[in-house]
């Protein structure tokens, strides 16, 4: 599951990092609390090379009559993505990368309190979430939409949640984006154990209206 994430890298730096041409419509960065249905930074590949574009986070299948015409599809499970009618064609033909700096996950206390954690790469590099995308709507209101592919959590992340986003290393970007032809299915597995690290952050991020860099600041270590 991935339900909230951050991006702190400037747009031009994102373009350079992913060797992508930056569209004028990409959203403002930094954003410390990206939520479902927000516009997000997406790398896709086309005839003229890679582009960094804006897409709605929340995949809209063609048969939806309205944006709220069915479940909000922010994630696509790697185990079933190739067979689910909503994602099947996109998995074969429209794969993309969603750019992030880190993401949030929650655990619960025995009393039911939601405790947020912030997860990022150990090496400090941007995160490339594997995604799929779909154009939706009539010509005059057409928009691009996307979902993040998820896998079972590796041992490290399973301390927090049983699932995790599919995070791709630079050597695998071209294959996922379809630049090297077919054969991306083997990439859909949990990432290596040593890629990510995490820490507790303030409960302020429990609100999807919260903002600011303080949301990702580590909580002080409590004395025993």
For 161, the token pair is: 């949640």
CB atoms within 10 A of CB 221: 8
Residue 164 and residue 191: Cα distance in Å, rounded? 9
Instruction: Determine contact, residues 200/115, Cβ cutoff 8 Å.
Output: yes
CA angle 117, 215, 75 (to 5 degrees): 55
How much is the pLDDT for 11?
Answer: 97
How much is the pLDDT for 220?
Answer: 83
For 206, the token pair is: 């429990």
Torsional sign, CA 136, 138, 142, 143: negative
Residue 158 and residue 126: Cα distance in Å, rounded? 22
Residue 11 and residue 97: Cα distance in Å, rounded? 15
Backbone torsions φ then ψ of 65, nearest 5 degrees: -85, -20
How much is the pLDDT for 223?
Answer: 44
Q: pLDDT of the chain along its 224 residues, tens only?
A: 689 999 999 999 999 999 999 999 999 999 999 999 999 999 999 999 999 999 999 999 999 999 999 999 999 999 999 999 999 999 999 999 999 999 999 999 999 999 999 999 999 999 999 999 999 998 888 999 999 999 999 999 999 999 999 999 999 999 999 999 889 999 999 989 999 999 999 999 999 999 999 999 999 865 44
DSSP-assigned letter for residue 66: S
Residue 84 and residue 186: Cα distance in Å, rounded? 18
How much is the pLDDT for 221?
Answer: 62
Burial 94-124 (b: 16+ CB within 10 A, else e): bbbbbbbbbbbbbeeeeeeeeebbbbbbeee
What are the Cα distances from residue 110, in Å, to 107, 113, 114, 115?
10, 8, 10, 11
For 19, the token pair is: 């060797």
């Amino acid at each position: 599951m991935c339900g909230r994430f951050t991006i702190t890298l400037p747009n031009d730096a994102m373009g350079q990092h992913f060797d992508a041409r930056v569209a004028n419509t990409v959203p403002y960065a930094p954003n410390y609390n990206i939520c479902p249905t927000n516009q997000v930074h997406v790398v896709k590949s086309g005839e003229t090379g890679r582009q960094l574009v804006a897409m709605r986070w929340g995949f809209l299948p063609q048969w939806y009559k309205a944006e709220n015409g069915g479940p909000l599809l922010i994630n696509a499970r790697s185990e079933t993505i190739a067979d689910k009618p909503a994602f099947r064609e996109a998995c074969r033909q429209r794969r993309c990368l969603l750019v992030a700096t880190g993401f949030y996950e929650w655990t619960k206390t025995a009393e039911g309190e939601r405790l947020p954690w912030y997860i990022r790469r150990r090496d400090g590099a941007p995160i490339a979430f594997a995604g799929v995308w779909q154009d939706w709507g009539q010509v005059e209101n057409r928009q691009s939409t996307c979902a993040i592919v998820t896998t079972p959590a590796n041992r490290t992340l399973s301390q927090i949640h049983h699932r995790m986003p599919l995070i791709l290393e630079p050597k695998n970007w071209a294959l996922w984006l379809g630049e090297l032809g077919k054969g991306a299915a083997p990439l859909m597995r949990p990432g290596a154990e040593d890629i990510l690290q995490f820490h507790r952050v303030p409960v302020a991020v429990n609100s999807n209206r919260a903002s600011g860099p303080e949301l990702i600041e580590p909580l002080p270590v409590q004395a025993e």
